[in-house]
Amino acid sequence: MTFVMAVCVAVVFGVSIYMLLGRELKGLAMGVFLLGHAANLCILAQSGSPVLPDGEGLKAPPVLSHGDYEAAAHGGEALSRMVDPLPQALILTAIVISFAVMAFLLTLIIVSARKTNTLDINELGKEQLPTPSQAH
Amino acid sequence: MPDQPVPVSSVMLMTAVFAPVAAGIITLFLPRKRTTLRVLISLAGMALAFGLVYAQVAQIAPTSAAGRAGTAVIPWIPVLNLNLAFLADGLGGFFALLVSGIGVLIVLYARGYFGDEPDDLYRFYPTLGFFATAMLGIVLADYTLLTLLFWEMTSISSFLLIGWDRYDKHAVKLAMQAFYTTGLGGLGLLGGILLFGLETDVWRWSEFLPAAGEDSPAWWLPEYGEISWTNPMLGAFLLMFFGAATKSAQFPFHYWLPGAMAAPTPVSAYLHSATMVKAGVFLVARLSPVFWALDVWPWLVIPLGAITMTMAALIAINQHDLKRIFAYTTVSQLGLLMCALGLGALKYTDHHNNSFSVINWDITQIANHAFYKAPLFIIAGALGHVASRDITQLNGVFKKQPAMCITLILAGFALAGLPGSISFQAKELFLYAIYHSYQTIGSWWLILMAAAIVTAVCNVAIFVRLTTTVLGLPGGMTADMGCPAHDDHAHHHHVDATGFWGSMMWVPAAVLVAFQFIGGIAPGVWEYFIRPFETNINYEGFQYLPSLGYILADTFKEGPSIPLICSMIAIACGLILGFLPVFRGAIKDVCDQIYPTVYWLAVTGGRRAFMLVQTGNFRTYTVMVLGAFLIGFAGSVLRDPRIIDPVYEAMSRGGEFWPGILLGAIIIVTALALPLTDSRVVRVLILGACGFAVVGMYLVYRAPDLALTQLMFEIISVLLFVLVLRLLPRDESKSRVPRWWRGLIAAAMGIAFGWMTIVAATTPRDHTLTEGLLLGEMFARHSYKGTELTAGRGGGGDNIVNVILVDFRGFDTLGEITVLALAALGVWSLIPRRRSPKV
């Protein structure tokens, strides 16, 4: 599974870099969006393969059942049949933040497109944007 | 060691070091008009330093074992091997007396030079005190790093004093030139000291020097001549020598010293002739007893000194400004001192089979220069006050200023090294050293001797021209001698002092130059005072300082010796050259262009590089960052090719779960389709499809929370994109620029990132920390019930991911919420409203 994940990361990341290097702001936003996916998949891959070593299906989700409390506290067998909870916790935070960044970026694109009437990065560089003091 | 009483001698020498700056600071609190009191306090500071050092060297013979042991340590920063301990051995003790003694005279001279000008004097004395303290620190410090500290302080004070006239941009530029040049050398010295200290654990000069009477170099040097290029001792020596060469204005770093003449003349006389520029010579003399054993020493130090000596002498004779003439003769003399120290590494065996180092009476060499060069500068400044500093304007000035001119002529007499001054003996010593070096370096000594003769000829010629000019005799320089001297903006015009203080314009020079003739006429007196400081008294048959009478007696007995003949040739040629009309122009030194060129290159080149890198184009920056990353990645792959192995291993186990492969394929296909389509709506839909496939992947990885969250945000994001597309203007027709470079970088980055994912995911975990394979094992074990680690307290939750988010990493979640709130605020404030209350 790790290899599949790695290929996914490679492709998604590569495409996102390709989009980021483009001249168009919308494509750039999509690139940022894909970058989030690539990073999350990469972190998730760090939890190792979700397939049990003996090939009997998948590991358990990181949720304890009622009988497991003592066993879990001492580690060992109960934990080895469970996927890693830490990468998931990290990704959960990352999803929310990447969404926030996404929303802000899209708003910025709308505002700059309204002001400058272009979505081309090279054109934007030539614009004489008002400085904050002149804006009002 | 707080209980032990601090030893007296440590405190004494420390007080000596800090007395000048303390006196200078006290003067700052005086009212500006109290100039006399100011002078007296500064004088007291210098005199106290002199007295304390003198008491120390009188108490403990400087060259004895006790004198070379250094004083007891006053701890300061022991962990950095930086403590307060002082070493008044022959070299250090002599230099300290020289610095503080000339300091006393310069304090008096400055009062005469600046006249009754309270503002200049108010600033000058504290700065001078600061310098004197720094210089005393260099020569007396026992800890190598302490020396370095004071070394840098002299660079700073030199900078302050060269740029004395703050409104003169030229002077400030020259001050920076001096500061950067000597500061660069200071960095070299730091490197050398650290390299040496870390390698040998020797941080004190007293441990560094061989014990008294011991001739062999210290244990850390290999056998004579066997040191290899990779030996760190060689690097340490070269770095330290670089520091010494810049400080002592050796070719090609000498340019800063003539530039430093923009300083007021008391500064030139003190820092840039008698004391600070000798710090490099001092350092080389400090290093010499040990590093003489390096076979690179003579081949580096002697030629550098000889080149500096000859070149500067030839430039000196072609100058018109008195201060520039004396500056170049100073450079020349510094080269001579370097050369003499370099010759010390060579051995000579006489016909009695006694083997000795060819250096002899090196302290006399150093003292000799201070005793004529400082007076020359003092008089140059005095003449600049009352007449002109341009030698072509000084014809016949003797009638108006007889006292100054007599002092000038006497000091010039010593500059020429004519018999009757100690300078003559010093020159003889140097010529003897060159002559004796033939056993080691073969015919090279002829070249050295020729260089010495050329230098002496120039010095004699300069003396002849000075004398004939001020006396108004034929052969002197006159105003119609070509172009006027280059004005280096350093004519400080002050109200002339009269009476006692007015005489201070030349009396200090007369006092100093008197030592020249005392030594020259009565060498016994000189020997009585200087001998206790001398460590290199080597020549058999030359045990006594050669007075004129001694040499004459020797000559009558055995015929004239070769050095004496050479000396006479030099004097004769110098007298002739002095009257010849050649070499009378004012030439420019090519090396003056070094600093401006480097400066120009740094500024212009820096601007070019900035323009090249900072294009303001987002894509350029992205490519640069990614390129740097790729180079680093390629480097690590090349360094450890085994990094490829985990990829094969992961590939072999890639097909263990077919729904995962299917989802992966969807992710890959949708991602690849994204840049291939042009339609905006299709692109958004593809983006959504990719996101949903990622949600599926989360499910495969048994992450229900992730899947739920991602699903929700994916839906919102797709809606958001559709909404935004409606608000944006339509796509313009894109210019089809070639995209192969984008694809290339993207592919390389993708491969690198995927590769790193595999390597990171399959690297074995640290088994001492985790029994299982879980990164989050600690969280899993404490999710519901605690262990001993947490005193039995746990998170009390079944869902480990949720417990991590709200318990273990609660602050992260708080931060996440804050980011979300800020983004929402930003969107709210940026979004254009339909009906705005204003505008």
Q: What is the pLDDT of residues B642-675, one digit of tens each?
A: 888 888 888 888 777 888 899 999 999 999 998 8
Residue with tokens 């930003």: B826
Tell me if B830 and A111 make a contact (CB, 8 A cut-off). Answer: yes
Nearest Cβ partner of A85 from B617, B691, B804? B804
> Which of A5-14, B113-122, B348-357 reaches the highest mean pLDDT?
A5-14
Contacts for A35 with CB less than 8 Å, ≥ 6 apart: A13, A16, A20
**What are φ and ψ of residue B473, in 5° steps?**
-85, 165
Tell me if B703 and A2 make a contact (CB, 8 A cut-off). Answer: no
Query: What is the distance in angstroms between the Cα of A53 and the nearest Cα belonging to chain B?
Result: 10
Tell me if A17 and B746 make a contact (CB, 8 A cut-off). Answer: yes
Query: How many Cβ pairs within 8 Å bridge chains A and B?
Result: 331
> Which B residues, 633 through 672, put their C-beta within 8 Å of a C-beta on chain A?
647, 650-651, 653-654, 656-657, 660-661, 664, 667-668, 671-672
Higher pLDDT, A11 or A60: A11
pLDDT score at B304: 94
Nearest Cβ partner of B650 from A2, A9, A108? A2
For B432-447, how does the pLDDT look when each residue is reduced to its tens digit (9 = 90+)? 888 888 888 888 889 9
Q: Rounded to 5 degrees, what angle do the CA atoms B530, B278, B88 make?
A: 50
Residue in chain B lying closest to A90 (CA): B805
Q: Rounded to 5 degrees, what angle do the CA atoms B346, B351, B355 make?
A: 35
Residues B532 and B58: their CA atoms lie apart, in Å, by 9
- A104 is written with which tokens? 């802000």
The arithmetic mean of pLDDT across residues A19-42, rounded, is 90
Is residue B216 predicted with pLDDT exceeding 60? no
Tell me if B753 and A10 make a contact (CB, 8 A cut-off). Answer: yes
- B432 is written with which tokens? 């003897």
Query: What is the distance in angstroms between the Cα of B647 and the nearest Cα belonging to chain A?
Result: 8
Residues B278 and B271: their CA atoms lie apart, in Å, by 9
Nearest Cβ partner of A15 from B671, B737, B785? B671
Query: What is the distance in angstroms between the Cα of A129 and the nearest Cα belonging to chain B?
Result: 14
pLDDT score at B243: 94
Tell me if A74 and B691 make a contact (CB, 8 A cut-off). Answer: no
| C-alpha B499: how far from chain center | 43
> Which of B513-517, B536-540, B734-738 reaches the highest mean pLDDT?
B513-517
SS3 state of residue B252? coil
Total residues found in chain A within this entry: 136
> Which B residues, 616 through 635, put their C-beta within 8 Å of a C-beta on chain A?
616-619, 622-623, 626
pLDDT score at B2: 45
For B743-770, how does the pLDDT look when each residue is reduced to its tens digit (9 = 90+)? 899 999 999 999 999 988 887 766 544 4
pLDDT score at B632: 94
Is residue B721 predicted with pLDDT exceeding 80? yes
Residues B642 and B197: their CA atoms lie apart, in Å, by 39
For B591-650, how does the pLDDT look when each residue is reduced to its tens digit (9 = 90+)? 888 888 999 999 999 999 998 888 877 788 888 999 999 999 999 999 988 888 888 888
Is residue B230 predicted with pLDDT exceeding 80? no
> Which B residues, 65 through 124, put their C-beta within 8 Å of a C-beta on chain A?
none
> Which B residues, 392 through 421, put their C-beta within 8 Å of a C-beta on chain A?
none
Contacts for B822 with CB less than 8 Å, ≥ 6 apart: A100
pLDDT score at B218: 59
Tell me if A121 and B619 make a contact (CB, 8 A cut-off). Answer: yes
Q: Of the candidates B464, B481, B496, which has an alpha carbon nearest to the alpha carbon of residue B385?
A: B496
Residues A88 and A65: their CA atoms lie apart, in Å, by 18
Give the confidence band of B814 by pLDDT, cuts at 50, 70, 90: very high
Per-residue DSSP letters for B137-164?
A: HHHHB-BHHHHHHHHHHHHHHHHHHHT-
Residue with tokens 């300290």: B96
Residue in chain B lying closest to A101 (CA): B823
Tell me if B671 and A110 make a contact (CB, 8 A cut-off). Answer: no
pLDDT score at A10: 95
B807 touches chain A (CB under 8 A): no
Strand-pair partners of B634: none
Contacts of B790 in chain A (CB under 8 A): none
First to last CA, chain B: 77
**What are φ and ψ of residue B204, in 5° steps?**
-125, 140
Nearest Cβ partner of A3 from B654, B675, B819? B654
Residue with tokens 């903006």: B489
Higher pLDDT, B619 or A85: A85
Contacts of A70 in chain B (CB under 8 A): 785
Residue in chain B lying closest to A65 (CA): B798
Task: Choose from B647, B649, B682, B702 for mutation: most chain A CBs within 10 A.
Answer: B702
User: Poorest-confidence range of A63-72, A110-119, B125-134, B789-798?
Assistant: A63-72
pLDDT score at B540: 54
Q: Of the candidates B316, B480, B323, B474, which has an alpha carbon nearest to the alpha carbon of residue B388?
A: B323
Tell me if B800 and A99 make a contact (CB, 8 A cut-off). Answer: no
> Which of A6-15, A126-135, B158-167, B283-292 reaches the highest mean pLDDT?
A6-15
Give the confidence band of B486 by pLDDT, cuts at 50, 70, 90: very low
Burial class (CB in 10 A: 0-12, 13-18, 19+), B705: buried
Residues A42 and B760: their CA atoms lie apart, in Å, by 9
For the A2-49+75-135 domain, the top CATH level (class) is: mainly alpha
Residues B332 and B316: their CA atoms lie apart, in Å, by 9
SS3 state of residue A2? helix
pLDDT score at A9: 95
How many CB atoms sit inside 10 A of residue B446's CB?
12
Nearest Cβ partner of A75 from B698, B728, B772? B772
Residue in chain A lying closest to B719 (CA): A103
pLDDT score at B490: 45
- B320 is written with which tokens? 């018109």
Percent with pLDDT over 90 in chain B: 41
Tell me if B651 and A33 make a contact (CB, 8 A cut-off). Answer: no
Residues B282 and B338: their CA atoms lie apart, in Å, by 10
Give the confidence band of B397 by pLDDT, cuts at 50, 70, 90: confident
pLDDT score at B5: 57
Residues B381 and B5: their CA atoms lie apart, in Å, by 48
> Which B residues, 320 through 339, put their C-beta within 8 Å of a C-beta on chain A?
none
| C-alpha A13: how far from chain center | 10
Tell me if A13 and B732 make a contact (CB, 8 A cut-off). Answer: no
Higher pLDDT, B516 or B736: B516
User: Between β-strands B347-349 and B82-84, what pairing exists: parallel, antiparallel or unpaired?
Assistant: unpaired
The arithmetic mean of pLDDT across residues B324-334, rounded, is 93
Is residue B492 predicted with pLDDT exceeding 60? no
Side-chain-side CA neighbours of B823 within 13 Å: the count stands at 18
Mean pLDDT of chain B: 85
Nearest Cβ partner of B757 from A14, A20, A45? A45
Tell me if A33 and B687 make a contact (CB, 8 A cut-off). Answer: yes
User: Between β-strands B355-357 and B74-77, what pairing exists: parallel, antiparallel or unpaired?
Assistant: unpaired
Ordered by start, the domain boundaries in chain A are: 2-49+75-135
Nearest Cβ partner of A89 from B756, B809, B830? B809
Contact indicator for B761, A37 with CB cutoff of 8 Å: no
Residues B178 and B824: their CA atoms lie apart, in Å, by 57
Is residue B324 predicted with pLDDT exceeding 60? yes
Nearest Cβ partner of B781 from A18, A73, A84? A73
Give the confidence band of B116 by pLDDT, cuts at 50, 70, 90: confident
Give the confidence band of B227 by pLDDT, cuts at 50, 70, 90: low
B518 touches chain A (CB under 8 A): no
Name the packing angle between helices B680-700 and B658-673 (round to 10°): 160
Is residue A39 predicted with pLDDT exceeding 80? yes
User: Poorest-confidence range of B20-29, B52-61, B612-621, B733-742?
Assistant: B733-742
Percent with pLDDT over 70 in chain B: 89
For B530-589, how does the pLDDT look when each residue is reduced to its tens digit (9 = 90+)? 888 888 777 654 555 555 566 666 666 666 778 888 888 999 999 999 888 878 777 788
- B627 is written with which tokens? 């390129």
pLDDT score at B489: 41
The arithmetic mean of pLDDT across residues B111-122, rounded, is 83
Query: What is the distance in angstroms between the Cα of B632 and the nearest Cα belonging to chain A?
Result: 18
pLDDT score at B211: 63
Alpha helices in B479-593 (DSSP H): 499-503, 507-521, 523-530, 548-558, 562-579
Residues A115 and B223: their CA atoms lie apart, in Å, by 78
Contacts for B467 with CB less than 8 Å, ≥ 6 apart: B409, B412, B473, B476
> Which B residues, 703 through 742, put their C-beta within 8 Å of a C-beta on chain A?
703-706, 709-710, 713, 716-717, 720-721, 724-725, 727-729, 731-732, 734, 737, 742
Element (H, E) at B450: helix B444-471
User: Poorest-confidence range of B86-100, B453-467, B476-490, B808-822?
Assistant: B476-490
Contact indicator for A3, B754 with CB cutoff of 8 Å: no
Contact indicator for A17, B626 with CB cutoff of 8 Å: yes
Tell me if A15 and B675 make a contact (CB, 8 A cut-off). Answer: yes
Which phi-psi region, left, alpha or beta, contains residue B442 (left: φ > 0; alpha: ψ -120 to 50)? left
Residue in chain B lying closest to A50 (CA): B701
Write down the ipTM of this complex: 0.91
Contacts of A71 in chain B (CB under 8 A): none
Tell me if A102 and B755 make a contact (CB, 8 A cut-off). Answer: no
- Please give the single-letter amino acid code of residue B694: V
- B117 is written with which tokens? 């000008």
- B633 is written with which tokens? 């990645």
pLDDT score at B3: 47
Residues B780 and A106: their CA atoms lie apart, in Å, by 38
Residue in chain A lying closest to B710 (CA): A95
- Please give the single-letter amino acid code of residue B273: S
Residue in chain A lying closest to B809 (CA): A89
Is residue B297 predicted with pLDDT exceeding 90? no
DSSP 8-state secondary structure symbol assigned to residue B29: T
Residues A131 and B6: their CA atoms lie apart, in Å, by 65
